[in-house]
Amino acid sequence: MAASSRSQEGAAPAITRRQLLTQVPATAAGLAAVAAVGAAVAASGCSSGSGSKGPQLDVLEVPVSAVTTLESYKEVTNPSNLYVLEEELSLPRGSQLFGSGSKRAAVLVPGASSRPLSSVALLELSTMSMHTVLEEPVGQDEGFNFHELRCSDGLLLWVESNFLTDAWRVYSASIAEDGASVSEPVLLDEGDGEYDAPEIAVVANQAYWIVQPAEAGSKTQEDSLLKTNGGIAFTSHGRFNAGLSTSGNTLVCMPRAEATGTVYYQLTAIQGGGVIASQVLPHGFRPNTFTYVDGRFSFGIPAGYDYGDGIANVGTYLSLGDGSWLRLTRTPVTPAGRVGV
């Protein structure tokens, strides 16, 4: 079985009162806390640079002198005036939370037995009430299990996969206003082991998923596609890097840049189905996290490079908007983000 509906068409500066916020999966090993955070860190940015063979590329160049680290700033000794715990909730061990909206999060809850392996619940952030909305995968009787899960305030999106056959399916369902139920699941796409099980994301009521040939399969010459429930949003002539990220009403992906002979990846921000910003990174750079906040990109480098000047070392890099950058000198795990103002 090939992936359905496939197509080759596509398309030391002052820090403002911003925060670094983890998003994407959060594992709750017993306790999940929702905090209102009120301090420090501006996010994301881009600059210009060199070219390459083929189409001219605007490659990001950051001199070492333009990068500062947290060690350059004074540590807050009493953080109690910066944040306050608002709610807390005990969750089953191993639960994972996902969300891109402000009202609720989807929770992948481990099953008490192997059938099903897990179920899906919705957590209302204002009340900390949780409702199970999918007791089991749609394809459970065919050997499918929940593989990926995302939600906004109004849309639930998930991937089911069969671990024995490598077949996968992408489903969506509308979320009821009270968050206690979802509509009948809709099959958006499906494929087999020739294509990776998709990376997914939700922005408002728009579903996104990446369909790309498996690295060890026979379809490696095919393009990789960023799909939506309305068609194809972006075509990459080569594999995407590191999945998808969301920030507000913006989706961020990292396709191959149009270059000849050398592999470059391009940070790409999409709103309403169209590209609003892009930035090519130095050749071979493969961030494991990235996002787009306040008109600027940020990204995480999980392993150092022997080139790249100011952005060559491990850490999360956040543009301060004036050509300078802040580097958080820790191995990146989740994209940078912000809460409040």
User: How far apart are alpha carbons 265 and 240 in whole angstroms?
Assistant: 8
Which residues on adjacent β-strands are paired with residue 107? 97, 121
The architecture that CATH gives domain 26-328 is: 7 Propeller (2.130)
Per-residue pLDDT for 250 more than 70? Answer: yes
CB 234 within 8 A of CB 245: no
| Mean pLDDT (the chain, rounded) | 85
Per-residue pLDDT for 138 more than 70? Answer: yes
The pLDDT score that the predictor gives to residue 49 is: 40
Cis peptide before 198 (omega within 30 of 0): no
- How confident is residue 336, by pLDDT bands cut at 50, 70 and 90? confident
Per-residue pLDDT for 208 more than 90? Answer: yes
Residue range 168-187, pLDDT digits in tens: 999 999 999 999 999 999 99
Residue range 73-125, pLDDT digits in tens: 888 888 887 888 888 889 999 999 998 888 999 999 999 888 899 999 999 99
Per-residue pLDDT for 29 more than 60? Answer: no
Per-residue pLDDT for 27 more than 50? Answer: no
Which is nearest to 96 in space by CA: 125, 126, 123, 63?
Answer: 123
The pLDDT score that the predictor gives to residue 169 is: 99
Per-residue pLDDT for 8 more than 90? Answer: no
CB 232 within 8 A of CB 213: no
Polymer length of the chain: 341
Which is nearest to 118 in space by CA: 151, 158, 146, 142?
Answer: 146
Across 303-321, average pLDDT: 95
The pLDDT score that the predictor gives to residue 112 is: 87
- Pull the structure tokens for residue 263: 């592999």
Handedness of CA 53, 57, 60, 64 (dihedral sign): positive
pTM, to two decimals: 0.82
148: three-class secondary structure by DSSP: strand
Q: How far is CA 290 from CA 63, 269, 294, 328, 332, in A?
A: 20, 10, 14, 13, 10
CB 129 within 8 A of CB 176: no
The pLDDT score that the predictor gives to residue 230 is: 85
Across 117-139, average pLDDT: 96
The pLDDT score that the predictor gives to residue 283 is: 96
Per-residue pLDDT for 38 more than 50? Answer: no
What are phi and psi for residue 22, nearest 5 degrees? -80, 140
The pLDDT score that the predictor gives to residue 82 is: 81
Per-residue pLDDT for 259 more than 80? Answer: yes
Q: Where are the domains of the chain?
A: 26-328
The pLDDT score that the predictor gives to residue 146 is: 98
Per-residue pLDDT for 7 more than 90? Answer: no
The pLDDT score that the predictor gives to residue 5 is: 40
Cis peptide before 63 (omega within 30 of 0): no
- How confident is residue 54, by pLDDT bands cut at 50, 70 and 90? low
More confident residue, 198 or 51: 198
More confident residue, 340 or 225: 225
- How confident is residue 55, by pLDDT bands cut at 50, 70 and 90? low
User: How far apart are alpha carbons 139 and 171 in whole angstroms?
Assistant: 11
Across 11-16, average pLDDT: 38
User: How far apart are alpha carbons 68 and 303 in whole angstroms?
Assistant: 18
Q: Which single residue is written with the structure tokens 């979320």?
A: 175
